[in-house]
Structure 1
Amino acid sequence: MRTARTSWRTCSLGAAAVAALLAATACNPGVADTKNPTTPTTAPSTAGTTHSSPSPSTSTSSGAGTSSGAGTVACNDNDLSITTSVWRQDSGRHLLVTATNFTDKTCTLYHYPYIGFGAVIDGPLAQMGSAPKAIATIGPKEKAYAGLFLYRGSEKTVPVEAVSIGYQDRALNSNKESAMLDVALSKEIGSLDVGTNARVTYWNRDLGAIEDLLFRSGTS
């Protein structure tokens, strides 16, 4: 996030200028541009695109900590564009879900998404990690992320070609009986292997926090 920087001009005053100083101001601070910071959208290889993905250690986002604690109306299917992506240097054990607000109003992604895998594996998956300090409130064109841990190396897996997703309201575990929407995986991803202990993180506007949890908490 950019911070406003104040630029100061230096003035040299001689003895003859003292009288003039009493009548006029010699220097004034000039304030740099303070436009709102933009939200980076750097992410792993995204479904439906040919963008190359950064390694988990270099992906960043400055959205953390900007969400309102009070929250807003809950986001739903009509507010969001959902994409799925994988990390280029990963072995396919993790998936990133990116939610983009394509409306002209602000909404909040509460708690964690309900995740299943089409008709192959029923959801919702259990959550992993703890809730972030800032809830994932996103304005128009802003993004929030959730990460999926899919399987361990020695675990028995089944292939899936779609992810099912649902959303919670303010109350934890709300809307659990609502139907989830299937999101097909892109040709770039093809199919995923999912084990019996797959889990999902809480929504977070900070992509780096998602990556820390997935790759540095013993689930990689």
Structure 2
Amino acid sequence: MHAFHGTPLARTSRAHTLRRLAGGAVASLVVLSLTACQDGTGFKDGGEPSASASAGVATGGPATTSAAPSTVPSTAPATPTPKGSPAPSAPSGAGERVLCNGANTRVTVQPVPRPLNHMLITVKNTGSKTCDLTYHPVLRFDEMQWVPAARPETRPQAVVSLAPGESGYAGVLLSAADGSGEGATTGRRLTVAFQGRTPLSDGGASATPDLPAAGVSYDSSLTVTYWQRGSEDALAS
């Protein structure tokens, strides 16, 4: 920088001049700032909006609000039910499952030619709710004192559930094809019992389906399958 030349008096005069100029500049900034606040622009020094202006205090008018959209409810309100009209109801049986038994099904039995010495049990859901066929049927011919075993290899991966109108099946091996069974006899009356949620627990009312007029011959080989969804699966073994 160049050295300041001149007499002490000249230097003093120039310094006073500079101070006056600087003071005038500061005063101008203050006036501009006040004018900005008074004309409603609402900006402080540095260009930032003032809190008082955003609330409408600077101009004396009402507070300025942003035009934000109104909140939309996440779920539309339900349509009101006209007076005197019944409220809508859920479909019959929706969300409910019960046990299949003799009270809500129709049970039929039919000897079949193939496989040899077999009989097919058919259970049709006649109720209004979905029902579960648990485990396997428990059979009793007349006054039989023993319970036919269920073949474990026929157990399905899931419980057979029947919607209203649907059918489930079980196969019955009446006697051994090779004649190895003992105590051959003819059954005149058959009781089909249903199981509950645990093995051999009471599942409700039993069924007594009609047998052929000549009865059904069986021996000690008598076994049943677990409940199946298809008749082919019930007679496959």
With normalisation by structure 2, the TM-score equals: 0.53
Matched, 1:129 2:129: no
**Counterpart residue number, 1:163:** 190
Shift of 1:122: 3.2
Structure 1 residue runs without a partner (length 5+): 1-70, 214-220
Maintained 8 Å contact 2:101/2:205: no
Larger Rg: 2
Question: In 2, Cα distance between the equivalents of 1:194 and 1:179?
Answer: 25
Question: In 2, Cα distance between the equivalents of 1:138 and 1:192?
Answer: 28
Question: In 2, Cα distance between the equivalents of 1:163 and 1:174?
Answer: 19
**Counterpart residue number, 1:88:** 113
Q: Tell me how large the CA RMSD over aligned residues is.
A: 2.2
Question: In 1, Cα distance between the equivalents of 2:205 and 2:185?
Answer: 23
Listed as ranges, the matches of 1:64-79 within 5 Å are 72-79=97-104
Higher strand share: 1
Listed as ranges, the matches of 1:47-58 within 5 Å are none
Compared with structure 1, are the counterparts of its residues 74 and 87 closer, same or farther at alpha carbon in structure 2 (3 Å cutoff)?
A: same
Shift of 1:107: 0.4
**Counterpart residue number, 1:185:** 211
**Counterpart residue number, 1:200:** 224
Maintained 8 Å contact 2:98/2:129: no
Compared with structure 1, are the counterparts of its residues 89 and 199 closer, same or farther at alpha carbon in structure 2 (3 Å cutoff)?
A: closer
Shift of 1:123: 4.5
Question: In 2, Cα distance between the equivalents of 1:111 and 1:84?
Answer: 18
Structure 2 residue runs without a partner (length 5+): 1-95
Shift of 1:179: 7.6
Paired amino acid for 2:231: L
Matched, 1:144 2:168: yes
Shift of 1:113: 0.8
Higher helix share: 2
Compared with structure 1, are the counterparts of its residues 75 and 179 closer, same or farther at alpha carbon in structure 2 (3 Å cutoff)?
A: closer
Length, aligned pairs only: 138
Question: In 1, Cα distance between the equivalents of 2:235 and 2:150?
Answer: 15
Question: In 1, Cα distance between the equivalents of 2:163 and 2:98?
Answer: 11
* Structure 1 residue ranges, 4+ long, deviating more than 6 angstroms after superposition: none
- Structure scoring higher RCO (CA < 8 A, sep ≥ 6) equals 1
With normalisation by structure 1, the TM-score equals: 0.57
Paired amino acid for 2:186: P
**Counterpart residue number, 1:209:** 233
